Structure 1
Amino acid sequence: MKREKKLKKPVASFILLTNIIFLPLFLLVGAIKMLGFPAWVFDVMLCISAWSSTFAFGALFKKIYPGQSFIQFVKDKFKNKLKFSEILTVSMIQAFIFLMILFFVSNNSEADSIFTKSSWGMLIYFFFKNLLSGPLGEEIGWRGFAQIELQKKHSPLKASIILGFWWGIWHLPIWFTTGYVGIDLIKYILFFMISILSTTIIMTAFYNLNQNLIVPIIIHQFFNFFIGIINENLVDLIMYNAFFYSVVAVLIIVINPKKVLYGKEDTNIINGKHSMI
C-alpha cells in the first residue's frame, strides 16, 4: 500500500484551500441575494459558505494526519470536561462588553429601537442561524487545527497573531459587500482586524486553559450574536468592539494566566496534551 506523503506546510495549505473554497461559495450567496431568492435559501447558502474552513480541513486531513480518523479528531476536540469557571468568565466578559456598547449606543443613537430584532422568535432564529453560519462552521478548522498546529512551532501568543491575521484576511470578500467606500471602508477594515486579532488572543488563552473547542465556539458566538442584535452604524459597532476586545486581550496578555500565552513555560497543546518548552 502506498503511503501518503505528509504535507510540509499544513497550515498554509489549509488557509489557501479555505479561501479557494470560500470565494465561489460567497459569490453564489451574493448571486442568490441579487436574484431575489427566498430568505431561507440565502441563509442556508450563507451557512454552507461559512463551513469552507471545515471543508478544507476535511479535504486535507489525510495528508496532514495520515492514518488518523477525521471524525475521531473532531470528537477529541470536545472530550475534555468543560470548566464552569472559565465558561462563566468568558460569558461575563462578553456580556459586560455588550452592556457597555448598549450604553454608548443608547446615548448616541437616533433610531427608534436599539435592537435589530423585534420579537423573541426572530431573536432565537438569529441566534441559531448565527451559530451554524459562524462558530460551528469555522472553529474546527481555525482553532481546532490551525491554532494548535501553529503552537507546535510558536508561542500561543505569536500563533494567535499569525492566525488572527489570516482569519481576518479570509473575511476580505465580506468587507466589500458592506457598501462602505473611502475612509469609512478603511475604518471598517482597521477596526475589524483589531477585533479579530483581539478575539483570537482571547480564544487562544481560554481554549488552552480548558482544551475544549466549546470554549472558542462560545466566544465566537457571543461576539457575532451581540454585534448582530444592536441597531447602530456598523462602523461604530466594530469600533466599540475593537476597543473593548483589545482592552481584554491586552489584560490577558499581561496577566498570562497559567502561562498559557508565553514565557519560560510556554504551553503548547499537542494532541490535547500540554508540553513545556
Structure 2
Amino acid sequence: MNREKKLKKPVASFILLTNIIFLPLFCLVGAIKLLGFPEWFFNVMLCISAWSSTFAFAALFKKIYPGQSFIQFVKDKFKNKLKFSMILTVIMIQAFIFFMIMFLVSNNSETDSIFTISSWGMLIYLFLKNLLSGPLGEEIGWRGFALMELQKNHSPLKASIIVGFWWGMWHLPIWFTTGFMGIELIKYILFFMISIMSTTIIMTAFYNLNQNLIIPIIIHQFFNFFIGIINGNLIDLIMYNAIFYLVVALLIIVINPKKVLYGREDTNIINGKYFMT
C-alpha cells in the first residue's frame, strides 16, 4: 500500500510556501492599483492575497496529515463550545486599548474628525472588508495549524513567539508600500513587529483557554478594525498599539492563567487537549 511521505518540517514548509504564494499575488495587487482597475476588483484581489496562508496549508495538508480531511480539520477548529467569558474578555481588552488610543490621538490631532469613516454604511463595509481580507484568510493557517503544531514540541509561549515573528515577517512586502523611508520606516517596522508578536501571545493564551478558532479571529479582527477607523498619524497609531498590546501580553505572561502559556513541564496541546509527555 502506498503511503504519502509526511513532511519532516511542516511548519517551516508552510511558512515558506505561504510567502511563495503571497509575493506574486501581492505584486499583482500592486499592478492592479497602478493600472487603474476598479476599486472593487482591487479589493477582491487584495482579499485573495490575504488567504495565501490558507492556500499554502491546504496544498500541504495531505503531506502534513496523510489520510485526514482538510474540511474536517477546519471544522474541528470551530467545534468546541465558545465561552462567553472569553469573548467578552478579549473584546473588553481591545475596546479599552481602542479608547485609550482614541483619547491620545484626539489630544494631539489637528484634524476635524478623529474617525476615518463618516457613516454606518462605511463602518459596516470596513468591518466586513477587514474580516474577509485578514482574520478569515490568515487564522486557519497561522493559528489553526502552525501555532498548534509548534505546541506539540514547544511551550505555548515559545510557540507564539515563533509564529508571531514569522507572521510579522510575512507582512514584509507591505512595509515598503507605506511610503516611509529611513528612520520612519525603521520605527514603523519595529512598532509593527512588537504589535504583531504581542497580539500573537494574547491570541495563544485565549485560544488555548477556549480551543475555538473564533477567539483568535475576533482578536485579529478588532486589532485591524479599530486601528483602521482612527484618523491619525500611522506611526503614532502603530506605536500606541505596540505599547498597549505589549503591556497586555506581558500581564498575561506574568499572570499565566491556568498555566496556559508555560509552567507545565513538557506539556503539549494536541487536538485541543492538554497532554503530559
TM over 0.5: yes
1:169 aligns with 2:169: yes
Which residue number in structure 1 is paired with residue 74 of structure 2? Answer: 74
Partner deviation per Cα, 1:208-230 (whole Å, 9 max, x = no partner):
00000000000000000000000
CA distance in 2, matches of 1:265, 1:117: 49
What residue ranges of structure 2 are gaps of 5+ in the alignment?
A: none
1:227 aligns with 2:227: yes
Which residue number in structure 2 is paired with residue 23 of structure 1? Answer: 23
Return the offset for 1:144.
Answer: 0.1
Partner deviation per Cα, 1:177-216 (whole Å, 9 max, x = no partner):
0000000000000000000000000000000000000000
Summarize the alignment of residues 1-150 of structure 1 with structure 2, pairs less than 5 Å apart. 1-150=1-150
CA distance in 2, matches of 1:256, 1:206: 11
CA distance in 1, matches of 2:239, 2:120: 27
Return the offset for 1:267.
Answer: 4.8
Return the offset for 1:273.
Answer: 1.7
Q: Is the CA contact 1:192–1:238 (under 8 Å) kept in the aligned structure 2?
A: yes
CA distance in 1, matches of 2:190, 2:5: 40
Which residue number in structure 1 is paired with residue 257 of structure 2? Answer: 257
Question: What code does the residue aligned with 2:243 have?
Answer: F
CA distance in 2, matches of 1:176, 1:267: 40
Question: What code does the residue aligned with 1:202 have?
Answer: I
Deviates more, 1:201-210 or 1:33-42: 33-42
Q: Is the CA contact 1:260–1:266 (under 8 Å) kept in the aligned structure 2?
A: no
Q: Is the CA contact 1:21–1:56 (under 8 Å) kept in the aligned structure 2?
A: yes
Summarize the alignment of residues 137-216 of structure 1 with structure 2, pairs less than 5 Å apart. 137-216=137-216
> Do the aligned partners of residues 246 and 224 (structure 1) sit closer, same or farther apart at CA in structure 2, a change above 3 Å counting?
same
Which residue number in structure 1 is paired with residue 239 of structure 2? Answer: 239
CA distance in 2, matches of 1:70, 1:112: 49
3-state SS of paired residue (1:275) = strand
Return the offset for 1:276.
Answer: 2.9
Return the offset for 1:268.
Answer: 2.5
TM-score, normalised on structure 2? 0.99
Return the offset for 1:269.
Answer: 1.9
> Do the aligned partners of residues 70 and 218 (structure 1) sit closer, same or farther apart at CA in structure 2, a change above 3 Å counting?
same
Question: What code does the residue aligned with 1:257 have?
Answer: P
TM-score, normalised on structure 1? 0.99
CA distance in 1, matches of 2:80, 2:3: 32
Which residue number in structure 2 is paired with residue 275 of structure 1? Answer: 275
Question: What code does the residue aligned with 1:231 have?
Answer: N
Give the number of aligned pairs: 277
Return the offset for 1:266.
Answer: 6.2
Partner deviation per Cα, 1:52-106 (whole Å, 9 max, x = no partner):
0000000000000000000000000000000000100000000000000000000
What residue ranges of structure 1 are gaps of 5+ in the alignment?
A: none
Deviates more, 1:1-10 or 1:14-23: 1-10
3-state SS of paired residue (2:269) = strand
CA distance in 2, matches of 1:265, 1:258: 14
CA RMSD in angstroms comes to 0.8
Partner deviation per Cα, 1:121-143 (whole Å, 9 max, x = no partner):
01100100100000000000000
Return the offset for 1:264.
Answer: 3.0
Q: Is the CA contact 1:259–1:265 (under 8 Å) kept in the aligned structure 2?
A: no
Q: Is the CA contact 1:109–1:232 (under 8 Å) kept in the aligned structure 2?
A: yes
CA distance in 2, matches of 1:224, 1:35: 27
Q: Is the CA contact 1:53–1:141 (under 8 Å) kept in the aligned structure 2?
A: yes
CA distance in 1, matches of 2:38, 2:106: 33
Q: Is the CA contact 1:259–1:266 (under 8 Å) kept in the aligned structure 2?
A: no
CA distance in 1, matches of 2:126, 2:247: 28
CA distance in 1, matches of 2:256, 2:120: 39
Q: Is the CA contact 1:175–1:189 (under 8 Å) kept in the aligned structure 2?
A: yes
